[in-house]
Structure 1
Amino acid sequence: MPFFDTQSRDQLRASYIEAWRKRRERLPMQPLEMQIADVIELHPEYQQALQDPDSVLDRDYSPEGGQSNPFLHMGLHLAIRDQLATDRPPGIRSAFDNLVRRMGDAHAAEHELIECLAETLWESQRSGLPPDEHAYLARVTRQR
């Protein structure tokens, strides 16, 4: 999503906060804001924090401290949804549909894809190579 490439961490976080504010206040939204708000709706555990910008804008979420980064998690949901909309890598949509049929829950199936994507991105970062779409899709299809 090129939109996110041009934003600082604070600007990116502010876009989540603003999208959630607009959803709560039933204000007009841009398409990307609607996508963000849809993901936030699926995560009630993050909603209160997004209503208190001072609690999240400057906060560092460290895995060492046992903290999950809600912005990373929601961003991965958005990435998965973009992959599904474009069927990239080819076959991801079909693999996802199979997971949804097996699990009976699209949100849970997205979480399965997020785990696979996160592992693929971690490997890419560690190796210094681009993410391996074939390895990613293989991970996803093993989830069936």
Structure 2
Amino acid sequence: MTEKTLVLIKPDAVERNLIGSILVEYERNGLKVLDMKLINASTEMAEQHYAEHSGKPFFNRLVSYLTRSPLVALVLKGENAISRVRALNGTTDPEDSQDNTIRALYGLSMAENTVHASDSLESATRERSIWFS
């Protein structure tokens, strides 16, 4: 099934000039970029993005991280795009990610893990509305 998903290339990756390297991984794996922008996330956008974590001890750190410097928001399209992107990204903790996943290659830590990808069609729709309103 052809799907659209949202990906964020997070501030740590943008700061380290990894945008192109990460885009290559998605495109090399047959995903098509439909929309892309470099953006300084507002606190409101970051809070909306991480709404499911509101009230948790790490919520403010997530918001601070996402708003500290520019990020790249992408909409990718492809067959089973959501599951494929999540597999390409690897697990949340780069140290536990399979070799050659984006997080294993470029992630610094659990807190600075380089990329975000929607985990479902519902999340993809909600997150696209935040970043591409």
What's the TM-score once normalised by structure 2's chain length? Answer: 0.24
Structure number having the greater strand percentage: 2
Structure number having the greater helix percentage: 1
Larger radius of gyration: 1
What's the TM-score once normalised by structure 1's chain length? Answer: 0.23
